[in-house]
Structure 1
Amino acid sequence: MTGNTHIIGGLAASLAISQMTDYDPVLLVVGGVAGAILPDICHGGSMIGRRFPLISKVINKVFGHRSFTHSLLFILLLVALMNYFSWDKSIMMGVSVGVASHLLLDMATKNGVKLFFPIPVTVRFPITTRTGGTVESIVFGILSVLTVYFGYGAFTTYF
């Protein structure tokens, strides 16, 4: 999936979570969007990889693309680090949800993800699509509608 699809996916997911919890929806959304692009730090051509080229290159060299940063282990380590540094719980939840949405979206592509890293098993959905294709555009549209729906609910009850 492309960066824009990951961003709208993280946005929709964090807004949906805000409907079910008492977390601050603004902080949840900020964390959700950040978390949605974070796993692609392992790819130099991604939005975040272009911002942090040295870090991206090192992570890609050590782990490759769609392995460690696209795994459950990565989410667990992120949560542990955020907890250790006493990050706001709303941001922590948002980042976790954003990363999870990223992994789910990438599982819908032909390359899948190494969800159980370091176990070298690729996980993908039975039906997959090509990154940047027509199906991704449809997914982007659906996620956009969900973002408006969940956003309306989150912010009308918040303000």
Structure 2
Amino acid sequence: MQGNTHIVGGITASLAFAQISNDNPFILVGAGVIGALLPDICHGGSKIGRTFPIISKIVNKLFGHRSFTHSLLFLFLVAALVHAFIPYESIIAGLLVGITSHILLDMGTKQGVKLFFPINISVRLPFTTKTGGKIEKVVFTLLTILSLYFSYELISQFVNVV
């Protein structure tokens, strides 16, 4: 999936999580977007890879694309690190929700992800699409509509409280 799809996926997942949590939705969404971009640090052409090119080259050289940074091991390591250094639950939740959304979206590509890294097995959803293809545009549109819906729900809850 492309960066814009991952961004809207992170927003949608964070807003959906905000429906069932007491976390600040603005912080959730901000951290969710960062989390949704983070796994692609292994790809020099990604939004985050272009922002941090040296780190991106090192990670890509060590692991390749869609392997370690797209795995459950990466998710658990990030969870342990952020729990150790970041005292704000909303930031932690947003980052982890964003990473999870990224991995799920990339499981919808033909390449899939090495979800169980270091085991070299690609995991894909039963239906896949080409990155940047027409189906991805449909996914992007649906995620945008879901984001608007979840935003409306949060605003409605806020108005009812006030």
Q: Same fold (TM over 0.5)?
A: yes
The residue type equivalent to 1:75 in the other structure is L
TM-score by length of 1: 0.97
Q: Summarize the alignment of residues 54-65 of structure 1 with structure 2, pairs less than 5 Å apart.
A: 54-65=54-65
For residues 86 and 42 of structure 1, what CA distance do their matches in structure 2 show?
23
Q: Which runs of 5+ in 2 are unaligned?
A: none
Q: Where does residue 27 of structure 1 map in the other structure?
A: 27
Q: Where does residue 77 of structure 1 map in the other structure?
A: 77
TM-score by length of 2: 0.96
In the TM superposition, structure 1's runs of 4+ consecutive aligned residues that sit over 3 Å from their partners are none
Q: Summarize the alignment of residues 111-122 of structure 1 with structure 2, pairs less than 5 Å apart.
A: 111-122=111-122
For residues 105 and 65 of structure 2, what CA distance do their matches in structure 1 show?
15
Root-mean-square deviation over aligned CA pairs: 0.9
The residue type equivalent to 2:8 in the other structure is I
Q: Summarize the alignment of residues 143-158 of structure 1 with structure 2, pairs less than 5 Å apart.
A: 143-158=143-158
Q: Where does residue 6 of structure 1 map in the other structure?
A: 6
Query: What SS does the corresponding residue of 1:113 show, helix, strand or coil?
Result: coil
The size of the alignment, in residue pairs, is 159
Per-residue deviation, 1:153: 1.3
Q: Is the 8 A contact 1:42 1:59 kept in 2?
A: yes
Per-residue deviation, 1:36: 0.3
Q: Summarize the alignment of residues 116-135 of structure 1 with structure 2, pairs less than 5 Å apart.
A: 116-135=116-135
For residues 157 and 38 of structure 2, what CA distance do their matches in structure 1 show?
29
The residue type equivalent to 1:98 in the other structure is G
Q: Is the 8 A contact 1:25 1:155 kept in 2?
A: no
Q: Which runs of 5+ in 1 are unaligned?
A: none
The residue type equivalent to 1:66 in the other structure is R
For residues 149 and 104 of structure 2, what CA distance do their matches in structure 1 show?
20
For residues 13 and 126 of structure 1, what CA distance do their matches in structure 2 show?
21
Deviations 1:70-120 (A, max 9, x none): 001111111100111133100100110000000000000000000011111
The residue type equivalent to 1:11 in the other structure is I
Query: What SS does the corresponding residue of 2:98 show, helix, strand or coil?
Result: helix
For residues 133 and 6 of structure 1, what CA distance do their matches in structure 2 show?
14
The residue type equivalent to 1:107 in the other structure is M
The residue type equivalent to 2:146 in the other structure is L
For residues 17 and 146 of structure 2, what CA distance do their matches in structure 1 show?
12
| Greater displacement, 82-91 / 105-114 | 82-91
Q: Is the 8 A contact 2:37 2:99 kept in 1?
A: yes
Per-residue deviation, 1:154: 1.9
